[in-house]
Amino acid sequence: MAPTVLFRKDLPPLLSTEHDGADTRVGVDIDAYQMVPVNGSRPFNVRIPGGAIRIEVFSTLGAEISIDGSPPAKSQILKSAAGSEQTFTIHGRSEGRTVIFALDENGIIRDRLIMSVKNERPLTYNLHRLGDSLRETRRTMDQLRSIMRTVERVYLLQANVRLTRRNDVNMLRIKKNLDDPIDVREPGITSARANFREELKARLGTLGFLAENLNLISSWRLTGVDGSLAGFTPDVGTICICEAKDDPLVEASAYAHEIGHALRLQHKDHAVQELMNDRGKDSFRMTKGDIDTVNTSGSKPLPQQ
């Protein structure tokens, strides 16, 4: 039987900000995947049962690889006297999609790694503290800026999406009682309750903020069709509202999740250990599909070189 070679990468904890765009889901029959920024690099691992394995990139137009600080090249030889895990580095050269192969001593492909080399996608956002006639979010603007630095890192490392804060709005005031919790459902035809979604959009429009890519709003408790909500993105638009939490990392995961919705990500087909799951498990981990949706660069196959 031919020796088993496996591209893999140990994933950091769910709420770590060190996820770097790798998708190597254990037990799922998919190719390993890695996002690499143009002019950036990413480490990756390959498990070798013993002997020599050649790691070769299909297109050096898009990427090269190196080991132990060696000059980047099309291919590298990794050797192991006994079963071990070896590390190599991928260097992104130009935008596009390519493949890295692991070949045995007979030149037979034993595993492959799909790689997307992505240009940076810039997005801007405004950060708001929500208030009504009776209350306001308990989050300070300094706390929100700190939370968003975490979210910015999550999107930059995993998808090469750069989120840049444009404006801080210390108080986005809607001059009426929004209740506690705020009901974000669409009101029925006979309901006397005002439509919070429309009121929020109108207020942002009056202040001239709707032209921004994203408006991120800190609130108190939210409730919707399914009860309590950590966050809400009405109509999959550019407005994301999240309630203040006791744990800033949990709150950051809510903002990252809602920004995902604003960038057209859905709950469907997400496991509980991923960013876009809807089953109450907080995580910063994005999948290959998430990454390629929020940053579509790096999707065109590169020719062999």
CATH number at residue 39: 2.60.40
Q: What does the buried/exposed string (b/e) look like for 248-281 if buried means 16 or more CB atoms within 10 Å of the residue's CB?
A: ebebbbbbbbbbbbbbebeeeebeeebbbbeeee
The alpha carbon of 102 is separated from its chain's Cα centroid by a whole number of angstroms, namely 27
Last residue within a domain, chosen from 118, 134, 168: 118
Answer whether residue 154 shows pLDDT above 50: yes
**């109108």: which residue's tokens?**
202
φ/ψ of 182, rounded to 5, equals -75, 125
β-pairing, 239-243 vs 214-219, is parallel
Answer whether residue 134 shows pLDDT above 60: yes
pLDDT the model gives residue 189: 64
CA dist., res. 197 & res. 36, Å (int): 38
Say if CB 253 and CB 281 are below 8 A apart.
no
Helix (H) or strand (E) holding 72: none
Considering the domain architecture, whether residues 139 and 181 belong to the same structural domain is answered as: yes
Considering the domain architecture, whether residues 159 and 186 belong to the same structural domain is answered as: yes
Residue 276 contacts by C-beta under 8 Å, 6 or more apart in sequence? 257, 260, 265, 266, 267, 270, 286, 287, 290
Considering the domain architecture, whether residues 93 and 125 belong to the same structural domain is answered as: no
Answer whether residue 190 shows pLDDT above 70: no
Q: Encode pLDDT of 14-31 as tens digits.
A: 999 999 999 987 666 778
pLDDT the model gives residue 228: 87
pLDDT band at 32 (very low <50, low <70, confident <90, very high): very high
Q: Encode pLDDT of 63-100 as tens digits.
A: 999 999 899 999 999 887 777 888 999 999 999 999 99
Asked if residue 171 belongs to a domain, the reply is: yes
Can you give the CATH number for the domain in which 168 is found? 3.40.390.10
Asked if residue 300 belongs to a domain, the reply is: no
State the DSSP code for 301.
B
Using alpha carbons, select from 255, 176, 253, 183 the residue that is nearest to residue 217: 255
Asked if residue 304 belongs to a domain, the reply is: no
Considering the domain architecture, whether residues 190 and 88 belong to the same structural domain is answered as: no
Asked if residue 284 belongs to a domain, the reply is: yes
Domain of residue 114: give its range.
Answer: 6-118
Last residue within a domain, chosen from 63, 85, 118: 118
Say if CB 214 and CB 262 are below 8 A apart.
yes
Considering the domain architecture, whether residues 130 and 275 belong to the same structural domain is answered as: yes
CA dist., res. 197 & res. 298, Å (int): 35
Asked if residue 303 belongs to a domain, the reply is: no
Number of domains in the chain: 2
Considering the domain architecture, whether residues 13 and 65 belong to the same structural domain is answered as: yes
Q: What is the mean pLDDT of the chain?
A: 91
CA dist., res. 87 & res. 140, Å (int): 43
Say if CB 120 and CB 138 are below 8 A apart.
no
